Structure 1
Amino acid sequence: MNQARQTAEKVEYNGSDNLAIMSFATNYNGSLYDWVARDVRPGMAVLDFGAGNGEYANRFPIGSVDAAEIDPDLIPQIKQPVVTDIDALGVKYDLIYTINVLEHIEHHAEMTQKLASKLKPGGRLKVFVPARQEIFSNMDTHVGHYRRYDKAMVRDILEKAGLKVTRLGYYDFAGYFISLLYKWLGKDGRITKESIVFYDRVVFPVSRVFDKLTGGQVIGKNVIAEAIKV
């Protein structure tokens, strides 16, 4: 999962091992890419904030997306133009997306306001974050999470940034219960390739069925949100 770094506030991230292993989650990553890419049209200005190893940014045509990342170990893996200081950006974007990033940032509301300021009028911000504080586990600690979210928290930071929320729900129904079990078992916070591949191929497709059946309004491992600058 993407590491969250930003220029105004350095955040220590020590979960690069987990980040690399998540590249084997082809269904999960493909689903999230489809979500961020479905509104993208030729000529749109797009920013991937907290691009990590380029898992999503690299799927777009080269040169069509800016990638915000400051980790020198990850930047060489990104094939798109990389920005390390979003304060210096003079560009206004049609779309900014951030996947598993805000939870790494202590002052997440302040950063959300900054991202909103980089949108054009009518521009869209897409946010994907881990959900439910009750499943905060050693994995969250291992990768440097400050928190997990519920829908109300996400709505609050988006609306305080001056954005109109157009989509808000939970994502990965089954993942909530797997994460709860992971916490109960007292795992050390690391994941294995084998466990990710099994989850991605067997559990995740079923989980997405439950997301659709519940409309994302019951529970999930993540919160998924979209908001527009009006």
Structure 2
Amino acid sequence: MADITGDTRAQSRALEDVSAASHYRAWLTSLAVDHLGEHPIEIGSGHGDYAAEWLPRVGAFTATDADPGRLTVLRERFAADPRVTVGAMLLPSDVDGRFSAALAYNVLEHIPDDVAALRTMARLVRPGGKVVILVPAFPMLMSDFDVRVGHVRRYRRSTLRKAFTDAGLRVEKLHHVNWAGWFAWLLMMRLLKGSPRDGAALRVYDRLIVPAVRLGEKVVRPPFGQSLFAIGSRI
């Protein structure tokens, strides 16, 4: 059984720092809402920010993480909600399920054998169920921060598509997300060697730039972006 790579404290600190980016989180979670079904499972739920956005759309939700500290946070956050089940999960793993969808946002890039991880996710959903993935895009954007939090890779469209097909998943959707974030990541993380941090710059970007970019990408899919979003279905 493989573990997710990286400094778990740095990962948790980054989750806390970007938690204030509510417009960005709402945008990313909106990409998956039509594919959740009645009971999805999320791999790598972190502190539960995405799960909280998806909960109003489902009858039940299973949140998981590989880190004991983040599992404690998840259990405390959702202790009063009977719709939520919290458990430990590592990918790849020898598990099966009948979930309506399996979601993993910013997780697959941490796992050395991403094809095996996707095969596990395919086994977690019933036939026809969806595997929904968000990953960082463009190897040229690999930064010191990426390495510190355990990113094994950043993806191209071709490499993510191949991982899906090698895992036996039929690709239904695959596109870039957040073209403006590509430039921001190149400058702030790749060239200036920074880290995502809560503060005035993040909040201005989230409140002013993100809504405009989101609206534009509803009309025209950009040829590049900070992230790649993909949906595959179990055959």
> Which residue, out of 55, 60, 67, partners 2:49?
55
* 1:16 and 2:12 aligned: yes
> Which residue, out of 91, 105, 110, partners 2:111?
105
Would the alpha carbon gap of residues 34 and 214 (structure 1) be closer, same or farther in structure 2, given more than 3 Å must change? Answer: closer
Contact in 2 for aligned 1:142/1:189 (Cα 8 Å): no
- Structure 1 length normalisation: TM-score? 0.87
**Root-mean-square deviation (Å):** 2.1
2:219 and 2:59 mapped to 1: Cα distance?
Answer: 38
Which position in structure 2 is the counterpart of 1:67? 63
> Which residue, out of 130, 134, 139, partners 1:124?
130
Which position in structure 1 is the counterpart of 2:28? 32
* 1:221 and 2:215 aligned: no
How far off is 1:48 after superposition?
0.5
Contact in 2 for aligned 1:49/1:98 (Cα 8 Å): yes
Would the alpha carbon gap of residues 187 and 146 (structure 1) be closer, same or farther in structure 2, given more than 3 Å must change? Answer: same
* 1:145 and 2:151 aligned: yes
Runs of 4+ in 1 over 6 A off after TM superposition: none
- Residue identity matched to 1:83: G
Point out where structure 2 has 5 or more consecutive residues left out of the alignment. Answer: 79-83
Aligned length: 221
Partner SS for 2:45: coil
Partner SS for 1:91: coil
- Range with bigger deviation, 181-190 or 71-80: 181-190
- Structure 2 length normalisation: TM-score? 0.85
1:226 and 1:23 mapped to 2: Cα distance?
Answer: 24
Point out where structure 1 has 5 or more consecutive residues left out of the alignment. Answer: 1-6
- Range with bigger deviation, 177-186 or 129-138: 177-186
- Residue identity matched to 1:51: S
1:223 and 1:88 mapped to 2: Cα distance?
Answer: 27
